[in-house]
Amino acid sequence: MTERIGVYVCHCGTNIAGTVDVVDVANWAAEKLKHQGVVIAREYKFMCSSLGQELIEKDIKELGLTRVVVAACSPHLHEKTFRTAAKNAGLNPYLVELASIREQVSWVHSDKTIGTAKSKAVVSGAVSRVIENAALEEIKVPINPNTLVVGGGIAGIQSALEIANAGFHVYLVEREPSIGGHMSQFDKTFPTLDCSACILTPRMVEVGTHPNITLLTWSEVTNVAGYVGNFHVTINKKARFVNEELCTGCGICQEKCPKKVIDDVYEAGLGYRKAVYTPFAQAVPNFPVMDKENCTYFIKGTCKACEKFCPTNAIDFTQQDQLINIDVGNIILATGYDLFDARRVSSYGYGRLPNVFTSIEFERLSNAAGPTSGNIVLRDGKTTPKSVGIIHCVGSRDKNFNNYCSVICCMQGLKFAHLVHERTGATVYNFYIDMRTAYKAYDEFYQRVLEEGTLFVRGKVAEVTNAARKESEKGKLIIQVEDTLAGKQRRIPVDMVILSSGLQPRADSKEVGKMFGISCSMDGWFTERHPKLDPVATMTEGIFIVGCAQGPKDIPSSVAQGAAAAARVLDKILQKEVMLEPIKASINKETCSGCRICNGLCPFNAIAYIEDDKISDINPALCQGCGTCVAACPAGAISGTGFSDAQIMAQIDGLLLRNLITA
Amino acid sequence: MDNDHFEPTIIGFTCNWCSYRASDLAGTARMKYAPNVRLIRLMCSGRLDPTFVLRALSAGADGVMITGCHPGECHYIEQNFKALRRYLLLKRVLSGLGIEPERVKLVWASAAEGARFASETTLFVEEVRKLGPLNWGKPAAGLENLQEEISKLEEVPA
């Protein structure tokens, strides 16, 4: 059948018409591509306007067009618009092809002759290709209304609560014994200085008691299969050695446990916990976990003090890890961040000079529930510092470590300055490169800290040392810095140094990304679908990213993202089914030789070898449409819809104007 | 032909998720680059069948640019590594056919790297310009009907 093709060239105001002679392109297409089936070629000021779309719809109906080429902007902008227009006029939307002559021609070239010539080639390629396009139907997939949230920090908590409150079930998986995340370790939150626990713990309790939330702490996702609407997830629920059915959370086991262990996680190494423990008093759930590596019973085979004293016989030394399988429709990843390891900046002396503290250590020092009951003291546990230096951008904005800005460190440094000043009256110095206090009420906080008398030195600290050069420096930490505003080198002796460390992607973010089928940026943060217009979705349908997993951010932004992703998930759940692009590969049973070359190429395990038929087959539900197998099949037995060999070959010929040669 | 005035024609294969978006970004940011490359959008660089490259070269292209996501950033997890493997093999095949393997180039460009896409394109155009026209697929005198002859040969009698 000969196709009847309509070509529509958009002026886009002067965006295209300024660098491309659109009338010439349209006339050329009508004349030179006539033999390919072009029956009409028009140009119009704005094809995407309702009048422009009506023009196409009218031609489809009146001229009986079977294919449409729109030479306009990128398909990522208006492909949907013109496909919908075609659909409205009764033409299959996949018989429309966009030729990008704006992003690929008019905006990137300045010469009109060249722009016009290239546009003709691009249109010619699209015409040749559209002839080979096949009518396709979108694939409808039902959505499982359950949602998995991975990570129980503030972002994950927000997502879980929003979805659960809307009446849908949520599985919240947390690696640590309790939810709460980093926020539960903080004392105060900037810029309002709210007590972190006071605003966080009510949310934690709500999660713990919510009828729509299944909380799985001390658990990790180990496998993810399936696709949007139908994910099958395996979770490893690690043995707690405490029976959750029987435990009342009374805490007697922790009291009686004779084994003290340095708490590297929650107390950042400053405090102790027992071998059986809840990380903090307000933990949710408040069932303790047994630390097998440090428990005397597991090491020596005797003790069992906890078991003896437990009033409800909840201690169970025989408990095993348990694999739980769940089915969910959508997944939200709120896996958070790791703190930059300040030891890596060896010139700042962390780990070598005792009175150099990291930001998280200072959070624990200043926290009333922390190891010093909120007393800001030196490493000896008793001396109050008289002078404190706070160093910003530790590990951030530094080509030796991380190029990016960690966003929170300026405000965190200011918060520390305020707390030190308020509680100890010490002289406080802030060493910064640039002060970044964007967002609501942040700069006002900066002004407040300035007025409180904190001293600011603009310059990147070169070194923190205890090598005194004069009497006044003896027994102090000396901060060597170039004061770039005063234009001179300074040596400032202080009692305590706090490193405002930056944020880093989780050490296992690449593996986690791979498991969930999403990608990471060069730095290791999860990549969003669009940096501006779609910051919580990912390129994988049904997987969302929130909080610091996506990039460094503060609490308000994490909460906003948590809620945003929940809204996106609810939107999908309420639609009950999801439409998928019909870009899939399929195997021709007649020509498949069963060589199995394609089998190992699919990262989504969509291709299976059917032993009985001695051929391979593709599961369309798992196929993501990348086309790698299509390119690999030596028999040409695999075809890919939307991007078939015929379409691409035709487009190559068209772009090179080989199609102008009439037979 | 004087190579300084030779304008090569190049076919560029882009990945829908990274380099095609990089080219969109180059456009949005009005970055100017050489106009010699005509793009084809694939879903993934892994979709690139080496015969596409051979077809482009035989149909009149002087060079082929293949672009994809940076290693480790593939939208389909790892398919760009498969593109890399095919690319390396293809270059050997091209050498065997007597075609400069430099006429085919693989460039990684993420969706955020509009500037890189533009500069790499311009760079490659200059590289191909130095190599001169390929003239492959353009029939020599007396062989104008070669394609037709070959088609006849390919028809296998029943």
Asked if A225 reaches chain B (Cβ–Cβ under 8 Å), the answer is: no
Asked if residues A170 and A213 have their Cβ atoms less than 8 Å apart, the reply is yes
| Pairs of residues, one from chain A and one from chain B, whose beta carbons lie less than 8 Å apart | 139
Confidence of residue A520 (pLDDT cuts 50, 70, 90): confident
Give A601 to chain B, closest Cα distance, Å.
8
* E-state strands within A110-248: 139-142, 147-150, 170-173, 188-189, 194-195, 213-216, 219-227, 230-237
In a domain, A374, yes or no: yes
Whether A624 and B17 lie within 8 Å, measured CB to CB: no
The per-residue DSSP string of A168-185 comes to --EEEE-SSSSS-TGGGG
A104: contact with B, CB 8 A cutoff: yes
Share of chain B above pLDDT 70, in %: 86
pLDDT for B156 equals 59
- Residues of chain B contacting A114 with CB distance shorter than 8 Å: 35
Chain B residues touching A658 at Cβ < 8 A: 59-60
Chain B contact for A443 (CB, 8 A cutoff): no
Q: What is the pLDDT of residues A19-65, one digit of tens each?
A: 999 999 999 999 999 999 999 999 999 999 999 999 999 999 999 99
- Yes or no, beta carbons of A104 and B39 under 8 Å apart: yes
The answer to whether B35 contacts A111, with C-beta atoms less than 8 Å apart, is yes
A255 and A171, same structural domain? no
Nearest residue of B to residue A636 by CA position? Answer: B49
CATH of the domain at A60: 3.40.50
pLDDT of A463 higher than 60 = yes
Mean pLDDT, chain A, whole residue set: 94
Answer yes or no: is pLDDT of A131 > 70: yes
CA distance B72 to chain A (A): 8
Instruction: Test B46 with A75 for CB contact under 8 angstroms.
Output: no
What is the per-residue pLDDT across A72-84, written as a single tens digit (0 to 9) for each? 999 988 999 999 9
Contact B47 A626 (CB under 8 A): yes
Q: Tell me the mean pLDDT in the region A524-531.
A: 86
Clarify whether residues A121 and A270 are in a common domain. Answer: no
**pLDDT exceeds cutoff 70 at B138:** no
Clarify whether residues A18 and A60 are in a common domain: yes
User: How close A87 gets to chain B, by Cα (Å)?
Assistant: 23
Q: 3-state SS of A231-295? A: EEEEEEECCCCECCCCCCCCCHHHHHCCCEEEECCCCCCCEEEECEECCCCCCCCCCCEECCCCC
pTM of the model as a whole: 0.78
Tell me whether residues B35 and A118 touch, CB distance under 8 A.
yes
Give me the mean pLDDT over the B46-69 stretch: 95
Those of residues 458-497 in A touching chain B at CB distance below 8 A are none
- Say how many domains are in chain A: 5
Q: What percent of chain A has pLDDT over 70?
A: 99
Query: For position A523, what pLDDT does the model report?
Result: 85
Q: What is the mean pLDDT of chain B?
A: 88
Reported as a single tens digit per residue, the pLDDT across A477-504 is: 999 999 999 999 999 999 999 999 999 9
On chain A, the residues whose CB falls within 8 A of the CB of B69 are: 519
Residue contact B30–A107, C-beta within 8 A: yes
- What integer pLDDT is reported at residue A140 of this predicted model? 87
pLDDT (0 to 100) of residue A541: 85
Residue B5: band (very low, low, confident or very high) from pLDDT cuts 50, 70, 90: confident
Going by pLDDT thresholds of 50, 70 and 90, the confidence category of residue A117 is very high
Minimal CA–CA distance to A283: which of A173, A158, A179, A209? A179
A589 and A441 fall within a common domain: no
Interface of A with B in 349-368 (CB under 8 A): none
- Give the confidence band of B137 by pLDDT, cuts at 50, 70, 90: low
Q: Which domain holds residue B22?
A: 3-154
Portion of chain A with pLDDT greater than 90, in percent: 91
- Mean of pLDDT values over B22-28: 90
Cβ–Cβ below 8 Å for A104 and B28: no
Do A470 and A450 have their domain in common?
yes
Decide if B46 and A103 are in contact by the 8 Å CB cutoff.
no
- Kindly report the nearest CA distance between residue B39 and chain A, in angstroms: 8
ipTM here: 0.90
pLDDT at residue B4 above 70?
no
Residue A537 lies inside a defined structural domain of this protein: no
CATH number for the domain that contains residue A258: 3.30.70
Asked if residue A301 is part of any domain, the answer here is: yes
- CATH number, position A360: 3.50.50.60
Chain B residue numbers touching A653 (CB-CB < 8 A): 55, 59
Query: Within this chain, do residues A475 and A490 fall inside the same structural domain, yes or no?
Result: yes
pLDDT in tens, B102-135: 999 999 998 878 899 999 999 999 999 999 999 7
| B35–A115 C-beta distance less than 8 A | yes
Look at A652 and B118 and tell me if their CB atoms are within 8 Å: no
Could you identify the residue written with the tokens 């969930």? Answer: A516
Judge: B9–A656 Cβ closer than 8 Å, yes or no: yes
Number of folded domains in chain B? 1
Distance from CA of A146 to the nearest CA of B (A): 25
Residues A482 and A570 in one domain: no
Nearest-CB residue to B32 (from A109, A539, A630)? A109
Q: Could you tell me if A652 lies within 8 Å of chain B, comparing CB atoms?
A: yes
Distance of residue B98 Cα from the nearest chain A Cα, in angstroms: 22
pLDDT higher than 70, residue A406: yes
Q: Which residues of A touch B70 (CB under 8 A)?
A: 522
For residue A530, the model assigns a pLDDT of 80
Residue with tokens 């050329």: A28
What's the one-letter identity of residue A239?
A
pLDDT band at residue B142, thresholds of 50, 70 and 90?
A: low
pLDDT in tens, A203-244: 999 999 999 999 999 999 999 888 889 999 999 999 999 999
Are A563 and A593 part of one and the same domain? no
Q: Is position A621 within any domain? A: yes
Position A663 scores a pLDDT of 43
Q: Are B24 and B41 in contact (CB under 8 A)?
A: no
Q: What is the pLDDT of residue B140?
A: 58
pLDDT in tens, A579-610: 888 999 999 999 999 999 999 999 888 999 99
CA distance A218 to chain B (A): 28
CA distance A121 to chain B (A): 8
- Smallest CA-to-CA distance from A634 within A611, A652, A616 is with A616
**Spatial CA neighbour of A166 closest among A233, A212, A215:** A212
Q: Please indicate, yes or no, whether residues A205 and A311 belong to a single structural domain of this protein.
A: no
Do the beta carbons of residue A417 and residue A355 sit within 8 Å? no
**Element (H or E) spanning A655, and its range?**
helix A645-655
If asked whether residues A259 and A201 sit together in one domain, one would say no
Residues A455 and A352 in one domain: yes
Domain assignment present for A448: yes
Q: Are residues A102 and A166 in the same domain?
A: no
Split at pLDDT 50, 70, 90, the class of A302 is very high
Which residue of B21, B27, B48 is in closest CB contact with A631?
A: B48
Question: Residue B8 pLDDT more than 90?
Answer: yes
Gap from B41 CA to chain A (nearest CA, Å): 9
- Which residue of A lies nearest to B60 if distances are taken between CA atoms? A656
Q: Which is more confident, B154 or A194?
A: A194
Assigned token pair, B101: 């393997």
Q: Is A649 in the B-facing interface, judged by CB distances under 8 Å?
A: yes
User: Residue A433: pLDDT above 60?
Assistant: yes
Q: Which residues of A touch B77 (CB under 8 A)?
A: 514, 517, 519, 603-604
Residues 609-648 of A with CB under 8 A from B: 624-628, 630-632, 640, 642-643, 645, 648
Helix (H, G, I), strand (E, B) or coil at B96: helix
Subunit contact A628:B79, Cβ cutoff 8 A: yes
Report chain A's terminal Cα–Cα distance, integer Å: 16
SS3 B14: strand
For residue B39, the domain's CATH number is 3.40.50
Chain B CB contacts of A656 under 8 Å are 9, 11, 38, 56, 59-61
User: Mean pLDDT, to the nearest integer, of A144-148?
Assistant: 98
Using the structure block, give the residue that is written with the tokens 């490893």: A236
Contacts of A632 in chain B (CB under 8 A): 82
Q: Do A74 and B27 touch (CB under 8 A)?
A: yes
CA distance A603 to chain B (A): 7
| 3-state SS track over A329-342 | CEEEECCCEEECCH
pLDDT value at position A638? Answer: 96
Tell me the average pLDDT across A403-411: 95
CA distance to partner chain B, nearest, from residue A650 (Å) = 10
Give the residue-averaged pLDDT of A140-156: 96
Q: The domain containing residue A262 runs over which residues?
A: 239-320
Contact at CB, A627 and B31, closer than 8 angstroms? no
